[in-house]
Structure 1
Amino acid sequence: MNFKTSVDQRYAKYTQLVLDMPHPKVLRIMFNNPGRLNSITEQGHAELTEIWRDVDADPNVCAVILTGAGSAFSAGGDFALVQANIDSNDTRLKSWKEAKDLVYNFINCSKPVISAIRGPAAGAGLVCGLLADVSIVTKTASIVDGHTRLGVAAGDHAVMLWPLLCGMAKAKYYLLTCEKLSGEEAERIGLVSLAVEDEELEAAAMKVAVRLAEGAQSAIRWTKYALNNWLRQAGPAFDASLALEILGFTGPEVKEGLASHLEKRRPEFSATCVL
């Protein structure tokens, strides 16, 4: 792909994301940690939280494409960040605030966002990929909310969003079991907007982004604002789920969940039912 690089100076502070303008009114934001499936570092998480305020305030941007470098969208937060949340109360509090602000900043960003997802999509990357106003995936993309497999509650967006997109029954099944969905299945159940062939992904995202960027801006943005009131109504459920996720980082299950990931084995959680 040929990227243009003339972005506003307000984005110079972002070091963990690659930004360009493939169209005069379209900003492209790319996760760029390809050696680690575009996993998100502690700094990257902070940047992903803040950038939606800058996008909202940028008069030159009318639509956004969010994608990942190489063959992955984003594998989510890296294991170093998980360990830091386990070890440090200050880190947990920082993560709680950033995760809360990430979701609300994204929802309140007036510019339409189109996600272009291929390969693995999980964690904070998946938050933005599914919160996008139009989510486009390849049919072979691999989507998973892995919170309970890690040993913490599904708290970073899913309790707010998934029941609205695919219904409570499907949301409970995938969030409780952490079963992966292909892009094709995600489209079938309504979790994403469109599923396309791999080679069609960039063109499909660009087509939608340009259509929105060149459309009636007040009409598009006000429609987005009104529709997102469905998400704002689910704010209390999201707030509770996020608080419970952060609480989980203080317990024993997440330690076993992280260890099992690092050792590439099934977790062996204790079978306590006292809660």
Structure 2
Amino acid sequence: MNDETFAVGPDNRYAKYARLQFDWPQPRVLRVTMSNGKMNSADEKMHGELGMVWRDIDSDPAVSAVILTGAGKAFSAGGDFAMMERIIDDHNTRIRNWKEARDIVYNVINCSKPIVSAIRGPAVGAGLACGLLADVSIVTKTARIIDGHTKLGLAAGDHAAMVWPLLCGMAKAKYYLLLCDQLLGEEAERIGVVSMCCEDDELDAKAVEVAGRLAAGPPAPFAGRNTRSTTGCARPGRCSMLRWRLNSWALLDRK
């Protein structure tokens, strides 16, 4: 694997990010690593960055595929408690957070570059939204997927109400979203919440392999044009997520 790190320069669009790290494990494959030293929990800075980064990636001609992962032994441990307290106490913070949550979902969906998520450890909140909305989601056997909204007195939000029923069916989606039970990696693969499951020491290599294959496929402009032609995708009333995924990848297969 090529461990070349992203060279920060005056025109580097990724230099502004504080909670996301960037490197290139293969040519044209950009790896985005959530990192804040606190199990990659989404504080206010990371929450905003997870909504913004997909637009930068979408417009970057050097990127043909993306990997999203977390630093260390966690993917993302969910919302930072300090951020949650400010959301409760401050109206402006609450409105900004709601807009960012919408941006996270829609900007992942609308990104024309195929996204691979590599999930180990806890996966909760905004990080989980990106991880499950990715085109290919890869988890370790011991990964712990938890939506968590209802335990905080909130309706299952962000990606959950939109995509969980499409991935695993309404009955399983209701069970895990209402009870907030953790879903381990092997079971997540079995019921269809994620694409595949592997051993922990295989995760990074598998993600790079899949992303490399995607990057070697049709050029990004072709993929982007045809993905956009199938949307509606970001508006659930106009086109289901499942239909969008099937249509966009069918178009990608055409030369």
Identify the TM-score tier after normalising by the shorter chain.
0.7 to 0.9
Question: Are 2:43 and 1:32 aligned?
Answer: no
| Residue in structure 2 matched with residue 83 of structure 1 by the alignment | 85
The within-5 A match list for 1:27-176 is 27-34=30-37, 36-176=38-178
Q: What secondary structure, in the 3-state scheme, does the structure 2 residue paired with 1:59 have? A: coil
- 1:212 touches 1:220 (CA, 8 Å); kept in 2? no
TM-aligned CA deviation for residue 237 of structure 1:
10
TM-aligned CA deviation for residue 6 of structure 1: 2.6
Give the alignment's TM-score, normalised by structure 2: 0.87
Distance 1:170 1:65 in 2: 27
Count of aligned pairs: 237
Tell me the TM-score normalized by structure 1: 0.81
Residue 3 of structure 1: how far off its partner (Å): 3.1
- Unmatched runs of 5 consecutive residues or more in structure 2: 242-255
- Structure 1 unmatched runs, 5+: 239-275
TM-fit CA distance, 1:102: 1.3
What whole-Å deviation, never above 9, does each CA across 1:192-237 have from its counterpart, x for those lacking one?
Answer: 0000011110111001000000111256546655676555335799
Q: Distance in 1 between matches of 2:61 and 2:235?
A: 25
Structural mapping, 1:252-263, within 5 Å: none
Distance (whole Å) between structure 2 residues aligned to residue 223 and residue 167 of structure 1: 27
State the Cα deviation string for residues 55-92 of structure 1 (Å, max 9, x = none): 00000000000001111000111000100000000001
- What amino acid does structure 2 have at the position aligned with 1:178? C
Provide Cα deviations, 1:132-156, integer angstroms capped at 9, x if missing partner. Answer: 0000000110000000011111111
C-alpha distance in structure 2 between counterparts of 1:42 and 1:120, whole Å? 19
- SS of aligned partner of 2:76: coil
Superposed displacement of residue 125, structure 1: 0.4
Query: Are 1:160 and 1:231, in contact at CA under 8 Å, matched by a contact in 2?
Result: no
Structure 1 CA distance for aligned equivalents of residues 239 and 156 of structure 2: 14
Cα distance change, pair 161–216 in 1 and its aligned pair in 2 (3 A): same
8 Å contact from structure 1 (residues 66, 115) kept in 2 = yes
Paired residue secondary structure (1:163): helix
Once the two structures are superposed, residues 167-189 of structure 1 have per-residue CA deviations (whole angstroms, 9 ceiling, x without a partner) of 11111110000010000000000
Structure with the larger helix share: 1
1:235–1:42: structure 2 CA closer, same or farther, 3 Å change rule?
Answer: farther
Calculate percent identity across the aligned residue pairs: 61
Tell which structure's C-alpha radius of gyration is larger.
1
Q: Do the aligned residues in 2 keep the contact of 1:161 with 1:231 (CA within 8 Å)?
A: no
Q: Distance in 2 between matches of 1:191 and 1:232?
A: 21
CA contact 2:2–2:26 (8 Å) conserved in 1: no
